[in-house]
Amino acid sequence: MKALVYHGPEKKSWEEKPKPTIVLPTDAVVRITKTTICGTDLHIMKGDVPTVTNGRILGHEGVGIIEETGTSVVNFKKGDHVLISCITSCGNCSYCKKAMYSHCEKGGWILGNTIDGTQAEFVRIPFADNSLYPIPAGSDENALVMLSDILPTGFECGVLNGKVKPGDTIAIIGAGPIGLAVLLTAQFYTPSEIIVVDQDENRLAVAKAFGATYTINSAESDVFAKVLGFTNGKGVDVAVEAVGIPATFEMCEAIVTAGGHIANIGVHGKSVNLHMETLWSKNITITTRLVDTVSTPMLFKIVQAKKLDATKLITHQFKLDEIIKAYDTFEHAATEKALKVILTA
């Protein structure tokens, strides 16, 4: 089969690899019908994720058709249409028992990381019963690809951890696909104001179209002053960090109001300054999280009911064997006006 293979920083190729087989009785092999590229894959290509080694097939999102199941898989059979979760979970370990699937002792984020992933014609999914979701007939596959990772990540790490409540003021720092997923899912709770901050005018325009009350271009204006201006000098109840650099985390520290929440989503490669000299008395909560995908069944129902149009996040379509071109487009998101790209086998 063909697959997108990582060969060290900045090196990848679309090449022939052996078709995966059942290794453990809890496995399934899935024929990929649609997959996508994540911002995390770009971090991997820069060499930021040392657990990904030479020869690894990338990708942790997608939908497909079950090709083969191990003898102990009970929920799925050959021919079933399935959504692949970016998080693999055994369902039995101490973390899975707490619904913290991201830290499953035998799984977690392993696809396209420590085991071969979904940017291929076929993928082996361990613990298939817990790590796949059935897709009803007639569903829009493109929309469901957004449920593998970005919608549950935005919702769990940003909205749930940020404790968004009706009437809250929210700032989302970073209007990439994850920041926009926060913007879409925060609206379940009817916040009074959502401020979106980015340096890319196109993404800010998209944010406005997706329901942002205000947008701020941080390359051109003083974010702190603008946020205070929009919030009667108070700052926001919830500041969501969706970039992963020190400057944007510190921006959240500066704009959060007393009693507020800072919800980190960004993948950080460097330490950040925690300004305890100003925060010690402010009753704030800071959260971090790797998505657990506990909200996937709920989000699945909302997307199926068309209460949330996940396809709004998709800007480009490619064939699976055009994946090198798709990476190029996604890497140049600002000039290409790219959000999520869909690859169809």
Residues that bind Zn ion (CB under 5 A): 38, 40, 90, 93, 96, 104, 149
Shortest CB 212 distance to Zn ion, Å: 23
Q: Which is nearer to Zn ion, 291 or 302 (CB)?
A: 291
Q: Which is nearer to Zn ion, 22 or 93 (CB)?
A: 93
- The CA-CA-CA angle for residues 14, 16, 20, to 5°, reads 110
Shortest CB 44 distance to Zn ion, Å: 10
What is the rounded distance in angstroms from the CA atom of residue 58 to the CA atom of residue 37? Answer: 9
Copy the structure tokens of residue 89: 């979970």
What is the rounded distance in angstroms from the CA atom of residue 11 to the CA atom of residue 20? Answer: 23
Q: Which is nearer to Zn ion, 42 or 279 (CB)?
A: 42
Q: Which is nearer to Zn ion, 58 or 239 (CB)?
A: 58
Shortest CB 140 distance to Zn ion, Å: 20
Burial label for 239, CB within 10 Å (0-12, 13-18, 19+), is buried
- Assign 3 to helix, strand or coil: strand
Q: Which is nearer to Zn ion, 226 or 340 (CB)?
A: 340
Shortest CB 276 distance to Zn ion, Å: 32
Shortest CB 139 distance to Zn ion, Å: 21
Shortest CB 85 distance to Zn ion, Å: 11
Shortest CB 146 distance to Zn ion, Å: 11
Burial label for 199, CB within 10 Å (0-12, 13-18, 19+), is middle
Helix (H), strand (E) at residue 36: strand 28-36
Neighbours of 314 (CB within 10 A): 18
What is the per-residue DSSP string for 269-322?
A: SS-----HHHHTTS--EEE------TTHHHHHHHHHTTSS-GGGGEEEEEEGGG
| Residue recorded with tokens 């087989």 | 21
Comparing CA positions, the residue from 254, 135, 155, 240 lying closest to residue 194 is 240
Q: Which is nearer to Zn ion, 157 or 160 (CB)?
A: 157
To the nearest 10 degrees (0 to 180), the angle between helices 223-230 and 246-255 is 30
Shortest CB 148 distance to Zn ion, Å: 8
CA-to-CA dists, residue 183 to 189, 213, 240, 277, 323, angstroms: 11, 10, 10, 30, 28
Q: Which is nearer to Zn ion, 181 or 302 (CB)?
A: 181
Q: Which is nearer to Zn ion, 109 or 230 (CB)?
A: 109
What is the rounded distance in angstroms from the CA atom of residue 337 to the CA atom of residue 177? Answer: 12
